[in-house]
């Protein structure tokens, strides 16, 4: 038996929503798991990139044995029902750029879990899959929209359970994803964050997340400009993303731009705007990074409302 699952990319944090806001985007990974017929053949993991040579290089450094993150997620699912995975072939077709802040690891974790769950006869319900995926990833802001789709407010509770609510993103607000040609591992991006933050910074972000909720419900563009501001993670990560400060400064003065934020841990950035000044936005980002000899892939995308789902292989 063989099962394939299509999983969207995600962008997390959205400025002030550190580790609690995430959104699915229409870029996809496909994870296929099949039971092999040869006893003792063990675990086989194959990864293929549909992007470029940069991702091919990154793929070369991803474990293809029991240390692979997909296998770890699958193993946790099997163990949760008292079984051990044996002969499995896992194939990952990757369209989501690796180590760019677009949820590539979350997507393969989710894909592996959902495919394995189908192979096992669906013993795990949605809450169980969310809990396992968040445990493997360490936080729920990418895995929840990857499973659910859309814009999601999510929280991992002390008992490991996930609370989430799906929100409606205003369709008239554009999402422009700008992906530089260098990688930034999440571990490195998280390592620069302080273990404690000033109370005034925590209060600042609390107010901004509340503004975010009101802004999307009322489609208040002026309020969203404040809502996207952050003091918990972006000030510490900007030094890891050359050109980010300059891009943010330039876009701040552009009419109809609501904000520019890191996508997840970066280095990709997300520009939120309204009306039709997309060419100017793309030009500013492209030229700023070009001055630093950084190539960029810039895409204006819609929110992907459909989460991970089983497809025909």
Closest CA to 50 of 97, 118, 106: 97
Q: How far apart are CA 228 and CA 261, in angstroms?
A: 7
For the chain, the domains span 2-168+303-311, 173-301
Give the pLDDT means over successive 10-residue stretches in the chain (313 positions): 95 96 97 78 76 56 74 92 87 93 96 95 96 94 98 96 97 96 88 95 98 97 97 95 94 92 96 89 96 95 97 73
Task: Tell me what pLDDT residue 41 has.
Answer: 56
Please give the CATH topology (third level) of the domain spanning 2-168+303-311: Ribosomal Protein S5; domain 2 (3.30.230)
CA pair distance 251, 271, nearest whole angstrom: 9
* CATH number of the domain located at residue range(s) 173-301 in this protein: 3.30.70.890
pLDDT of residue 23: 98
CA distance 26 to 117: 24
Return the axis-axis angle of helices 104-119 and 126-137, rounded to nearest 10°: 140
Is 183 within 8 Å of 200 (Cβ atoms)?
no
């Amino acid at each position: 038996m063989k099962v394939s699952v299509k999983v969207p990319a995600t962008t997390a944090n959205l400025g002030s929503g550190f580790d609690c806001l995430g959104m699915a985007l229409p870029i996809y990974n496909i994870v296929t798991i099949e039971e092999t017929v040869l006893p003792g053949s063990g675990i086989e993991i194959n990864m293929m990139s549909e992007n470029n040579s940069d991702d091919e290089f990154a793929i070369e450094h991803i474990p293809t044995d029991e240390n692979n993150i997909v296998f770890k997620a699958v193993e946790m699912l099997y163990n949760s029902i008292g079984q051990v995975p044996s002969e499995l072939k896992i194939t990952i077709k990757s369209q989501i750029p690796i180590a760019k802040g677009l949820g590539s690891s979350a997507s393969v974790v989710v894909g592996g879990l959902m495919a394995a769950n189908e192979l096992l006869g669906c013993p795990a319900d949605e809450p169980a899959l969310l809990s396992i995926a968040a445990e493997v990833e360490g936080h729920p802001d990418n895995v929840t929209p990857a499973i659910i789709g859309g814009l999601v407010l999510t929280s991992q509770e002390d008992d490991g359970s996930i609370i989430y609510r799906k929100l409606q993103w205003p369709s008239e607000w554009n999402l422009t994803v700008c992906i530089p040609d260098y990688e930034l591992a999440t571990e490195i991006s998280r390592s620069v964050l302080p273990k404690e933050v000033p109370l005034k910074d925590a209060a600042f972000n609390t107010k901004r997340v509340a503004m975010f909720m009101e802004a999307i419900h009322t489609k208040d563009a002026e309020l969203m400009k404040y809502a996207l501001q952050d003091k918990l993670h972006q000030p510490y990560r900007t030094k890891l993303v050359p050109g980010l400060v300059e891009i943010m400064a330039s876009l701040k003065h552009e009419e109809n731009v609501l904000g520019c934020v890191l996508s997840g841990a970066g280095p990709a950035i997300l520009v939120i705007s309204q009306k039709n000044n997309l060419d100017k936005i793309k030009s500013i980002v492209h030229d700023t990074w070009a001055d630093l000899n950084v190539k960029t892939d810039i895409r204006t995308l819609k929110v992907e409302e459909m989460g991970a789902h089983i497809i025909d292989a």
